[in-house]
Amino acid sequence: MTPVLYYLPPSPPCRSVLLLAKMIGVELELKVLNVAEGEQLKPNFVEMNPQHCIPTLDDHGLVLWER
């Protein structure tokens, strides 16, 4: 199973994660969050990431996000 990256394409921190993953050869499943519509505030995302920030990486239950 591939790690899932929740991201927004124009975000510099998100692009950093994408570049690093490409550099070290990690394939990611990409899921775009539409922050204009508040997708980062939906209950299922807030449960996974209480800070509701992006990028957020879900690697088989190990969830990492930027602080």
Cite the active site residues: 11
Q: Using CA atoms, how far apart are residues 45 and 26, in angstroms rounded to an integer?
A: 23
Do residues 7 and 14 touch, judged by C-beta distance below 8 A? Answer: yes
Q: Over the Cα atoms of the chain, what is R_g?
A: 11
